[in-house]
Structures are given as structure tokens and as C-alpha cells.
Structure 1
Amino acid sequence: MTLRFLSMKFSSLFLAAVILLSSCGGNNAKKPDVSGISVNSHIERFDLDYFSLDSNNLGKGMNDLAKKYPYFINDFTANILGAGIQSDTNQVLKEANRRFFTSYYNVYQGLREDFNDLSSTEKELNGAFKNLKYYFPGYTVPRFISYLGPFDAPGVAITENAIAIGLQLYGGKDFPFYTSLPGQELFPTYISRRFEKSYIATNCIRAVAEDLFPDKSQGLPLIEQMIEKGKYAWLTNLVLPNTADTIKTGYTREQLEWCTSNEGVVWNLILQNDQLYSTDPSIIQMYIGDAPGTQNFPSAAPGNIGQWIGQRIIEAYMEKNPATTPQQLMEMPSRKIIDGAKYKPR
């Protein structure tokens, strides 16, 4: 089973903020009545069980893990370790497993205290998925499982049977590997500053949104790709109304304030550059790629600003068409949203 990456260089998490206070504790998104919806998911701790194995007898330990986690063991061995499925005859896995266990045991020890208690994360996940069930009643909430993988493994992955949370990407912005030279080469500071436990629920919702509504905008003009990326941001905002907008957008407070105060400036700069209908990959990357800033914009402007504008256009559309359901919005052609929004920020 191939894992769907939700990388943190990645498409990041970009949504809009409205006021300064929102960066400290949520926004004005409508909060649905979910009192009749039951979600009580527990994060199963594959990471703890894996690093509790006897390093001198990893083969037997892996067989025991296969019995306890039959729905995840091969995702871990084949897709995360890249060594094929769990088997007594898999010699590639035997060696890869030994190298990974010995190389990352100290990483596990360094993260263990911070992740000893995931109850607050579970509470946030349960609240988010209650809201998701409210808007999408047919959605079945999967099981959650935490693992610790190589640093280039995903922070969140949707597998066939679970949402897998890679704790190696939530160690805190000052975790030693992130600040090391190899760590900075892999994850520059503008990325690794978001490697905090507080991003787990947001990243999970974003991963689910991308899984439920796969992005089909590749090759389309910039404005349509902005809308499609903005849909994920809008839906994440909808189901996490109490989460700080700095978490949901991935912006710093200063970047968020600048966007909020200069929305019209951002839009006019894009229009002046005459790039809304460009299909040039380098132009599109400039606006919807993760970066410390946006080329040809003031230094205060964050990267991936096109997704922020896309989400604002969607908000404008929903203000004019409040009867539109989230399902309809997520499946709606981007051109219809653009035409119906009549977006004209000041």
C-alpha cells in the first residue's frame, strides 16, 4: 500500500486569518452541533512497541508486532523502511530493520518524554473528526497509529487502514536534528519551525481532505490551482474552528497580520504581474509552493500566498452562496467558484 505523503515542506497548511486574536486561538468559523456524533479514537502506539523490542532479537519482535499491528506492519516495513513486507525470509528487511533501529533509537529517546502523553492530541483529533462526520456523514473515521520513521518519512500518511502519524516530524522546532546542518539541508528553518505537536491534528485533517478530494488541478492555470489548494485550506478551517490560524496556515503571526492588512495589495500584485492564467510550472510554484517568502512581493509576504488568496476567494463565494454544502463546494469546478465569488478585496 503506497502512503500518501503530507510532507511538511510540502504543500503546507495555508488558510486565512481575520484578526490578530485569531492567531492565538481560532476564528469565527461556524461551530456545528456535534453532540449527537460519537468519535472516540485512540492513537495506537506502534512507536513505543517497536522501540521496546529486544535489539538482539528483532526478528521475533517484528513477528510479534505483525500480530498486534497486522493492518500497519507492512506499511511500515515496505513503505517507510523501504525494505519489503514482513517475512522471516526477507533478508533485506532484516538488515534495514537493524540499521534503522540502532540509528534511530537515540532519536526515539529524545522524543519519548514529549510524546509520553498524547491525550491532548487525541482530544483535538476527536473534535476535528466529529466535525468532519457532521459535514460528511458517510465518512468512516479510521484508526490512528503513531510511528517513528526516518526523517524523510511523512508527518501524516493515509494508509488503507489507518491514519499514520510520523512523530519524527513533530519534535519541536529546536529538536537537535532539525537545527543541525543535515537537518537544515533537509528542512530549512521556515519548514522545521512548524514541526510541533500542535500541528498534528491540522495535518491529519489536511491529509484526509486531500484523500477524499484528490487534486486534479495539475496543468490548469494558476488561478484554478489556487482555488483547488484553497479548498483544502477552507475545509481544514471549517472542521478546526478552535485551532489557531497560525497553525492552520503555517504562517507566523507577523505574516498573518501582513496578509490580513494587505489582501488587496496581494491581489493587485498578482493581477499586475499578469500571471493568473499562466500554466508555467515555475510561476505556479512561486505562488503555491512552500517557501520563506514570495518572489517579487514585499519581504513580509509569506510563501504559498496563492493558496491563501484561493481560500479567501472561496470564502467570498460562500458568503454569496451560503446554501452551498461542503461536499458541493469541494466538488465544484474552480471556474464556477471564481465567477460566483466576484472577488474584489480592498
Structure 2
Amino acid sequence: MKKTGFIAILLCTLFACGDKNTPDVSGIKIDLQAERFDQDFFALDTNHLMPSLQELSKKYPHFMTDYFQGIMGLPPFSDSTTGAIPLMKQFIRDYTPVKEAVNKTFSSTRSIEAEIKKGLQFVKYYFPEYKAPTRLIFFIGPMDAFDQASLGVYGDVLRPDQWIGVGLQLHLGKDYELYTSEMGRSLYPAYISRRFTPEYIPVNCMKTVIDDLYPEKIGGKTLVEQMVEKGKRLYVLDKLMPTTPDTLKIGYTDFQLQGCYKNEGRIWNFFLVNSLLMNNEPELLKSFMADGPNTRELGEGSPGFIGLFTGWQIVKKYMAKNPDLKLPALLKTPAMDIYQQSKYKPN
């Protein structure tokens, strides 16, 4: 494809339109309790930290260990001199500006809670045996706590059967000063931090649920198989969030996604002409299956992770031919079968 292929595309906002066959899930009961751990944690009495922590642990008995050891990466805090206590006090001091920004940006989380709850209703509809988390816990963690690039998820985590955790420190808006600082850019380049906005929270949460439903196993698989495996997840996300803009689900800009659709045939032809589909060399796969500012081979205007888009289209083509296939069965269908039976040949 010519480098200018994407640049010539006019900007266009792509919104996902609700499918007329979207099921009514309003009657499905979801027990989801939202909790502001971030506010409770920063309200701790740092002069009497151990007693305050003991009180906090009564309110968050299933989250505290995961937060301190998993998210914060702290050592045991039984020793107040050399253990976690000094580090915790320092974190509270250093992250007070982040806490203040969170308070301004997230004075209310009701709309986010409602969207996540709606997503879990669709999860229950399509995957009735799934034990959905019952708590939605908002927290503030270290800026470098998460880097789940394979999922396109930064800052948010799930503990199966228990809670979904939302790291608000990575959802303060793309122009938040820490993201645009030299330190912030070293952790998260602009093509990543532009997604650090509140509207990505429900999408990220549903992505973590999908990964819990069907843990990804793509090691050693060919390029086309990896594309399809990623495409399966996006297709399921379509069903769980039928009114969410496609740009949020795939993480592309409007310009990038519109460019992909306009150049869909050229993108596919590039893979065919260069005999890439059956290749499983790690370095080559990285060019098409890893996040980045663009896909170098396709031009500056293209998005990174171009295999995500192509796999999504293959799965949509396959499901158009198999409309009665249930989502659990789709996830279990071998990627190569989906590719071959889809007869994917975009113009």
C-alpha cells in the first residue's frame, strides 16, 4: 500500500449502531457494588497508619492483599521501619496531586458504573454460567503498575468471581500533565496515553472479563491465527457493548479506523503478496500484532496493531455465515477453521 493511502482519508467519526437483533437484557439482575477505595485509602491517618489500615481491611477484606502486594508491589508491612509502612506514607505524599486530579475528574462515577453493569448483563445473557464480579473498586495505583499491551488495557484488572479494579491514575484524560511530562512519555508514548480517558474504563473492564472467560493462548501460532484469536475477542466485545463506538473498542482514532475500512482490500493484499499469513516468526509478528504509533509497512497514517483490525473483519465475515453460532462456541472454534471458512476476500 502507498504511504499516502491513509492520509488521503477524510476524518470521520465512527459510531457503533445498535444491532436490531440486540437482546433486551434489562431484566437480568446484576449485583455490582461500586466502592471508592481511592478516597478511603488517601483518607488514612498517616500518623497512626497501622490502626487505620486495620479499619480499612474490614471494609475491603478481599482487595487489600491484592492492592498492596499485587498492584503496589509492597513488601509485608509488619515491620514499620523497613517494610511497607514508610513506602506507603511516601506514596500517599507523592500521589496527593494525582488524588486531587482524580477527585476533580471523577467527582461522580455513576455513568461508568451503569455502563459496566450493562456490559455484565450482556455477559450473563451470552455466558449464563459465568460468575460475574460483584464489586467494582476504584483505586489509585503507581503510574507504571500495569502494561497489558496484549489486551490494550492499562490500569484496570479483574479478580475472577470477586471484583473489577479500575486504576483511576491512568484515566485522567490524554492531556493530563503527568502523561505529557518527560517521565510520562517514557512510560506511555502519546499513542498509548491518548486512550487514558474515562470513556475507556467500561471497555477495558469488559476486555478483562473476556480474557477471564477465554484465556488467550497464541504462543507459536501463525499470523493469521493470532489475528483471528484477537478478532474473536473484538467480536464478543461488540456483543457485550453494542452501542459503544468501534473506535473505543479497537483503540484506533476515527481517522485510523476509517482509513482501515477504506483500504481493507489493500491491507489484506499486502499480507497475501508478502506471504505473511502462515508466518510465526516473533519479530515479524510484532510488526502487525503489537501496539505502536503506526504499522511502518503501511504508512504513517495507519494504526499499530493492524492485525487486530484484520482479524476482527475475518471473524465478522465468518459469523455472517454462521449466525446461529453461540459466542462460547465461537471462542472455542479453531482460528484456522474460522479463517478458511470465512472466505475473507475484501475488495
TM-score (norm 1): 0.90
Of 103, 113, 124, which residue of structure 1 is paired with 2:115?
124
The 8 Å contact of residues 84 and 90 in structure 1, kept in 2 or not, is answered as no
2:237 corresponding residue in structure 1 = 236
Deviations 1:169-227 (A, max 9, x none): 10000111001010011111100000000000100111111121111111111111111
Q: Distance in 1 between matches of 2:76 and 2:69?
A: 5
Question: What residue number does 2:88 align with?
Answer: 97
- Distance in 2, Cα, partners of 1:300 & 1:109: 36
Does the aligned pair in 2 maintain the 1:153–1:166 contact within 8 Å? no
Aligned twin of 2:158: 158
Question: How many corresponding residue pairs?
Answer: 328
Gaps (5+ residues) in structure 1?
A: 1-19
Residue pairs, 1:123-142, within 5 angstroms: 123-142=114-133
Whether 2:33 is the aligned partner of 1:74: answer no
Cα distance change of structure 1 residues 202 and 176 upon mapping to structure 2, 3 Å threshold: same
Q: 1:220 to 1:150 in 2, by over 3 A?
A: same
CA distance in 1, matches of 2:105, 2:33: 17
- Relative to 1, partners in 2 of residues 1:72 and 1:283: Cα closer, same or farther, differing over 3 Å? same
* Corresponding residue number in structure 1 for 2:184: 183
CA distance in 1, matches of 2:245, 2:125: 21
Report deviation, 1:237.
1.3
Question: SS of the residue aligned with 1:117?
Answer: coil
Report the aligned-residue RMSD.
Answer: 1.9
Look up the equivalent residue of 1:173 and give its one-letter code: K
Separation of aligned partners in 1, 2:202 and 2:265 = 31
SS at match of 2:138: strand
How high is the TM-score relative to the length of structure 2? 0.90
- Tell me if structure 2 keeps the 8 A contact 1:27–1:244: no
In structure 2, the residue matched to 1:310 is 311
Partners of 1:130 and 1:197 lie apart in 2 by 21
Secondary structure of the structure 2 residue equivalent to 1:338: helix
Contact 2:16 2:244 in 1 (8 A): yes
Identity of aligned residues (%): 39
Task: State whether structure 2 residue 108 is matched by structure 1 residue 107.
Answer: no
Question: What is the rounded CA distance, in whole Å, between the counterparts of 1:328 and 1:164 in structure 2?
Answer: 28
CA contact (8 A) 2:247 2:254 kept: yes
Secondary structure of the residue aligned to 2:141 is: coil
Q: State the SS of the aligned residue for 1:56.
A: helix
CA distance in 1, matches of 2:12, 2:21: 17
1 CA distance for matches of 2:321 and 2:15? 28
**Is 1:74–1:84's contact at 8 Å kept on the other side of the alignment?**
no
**Deviation at 1:30?**
4.1
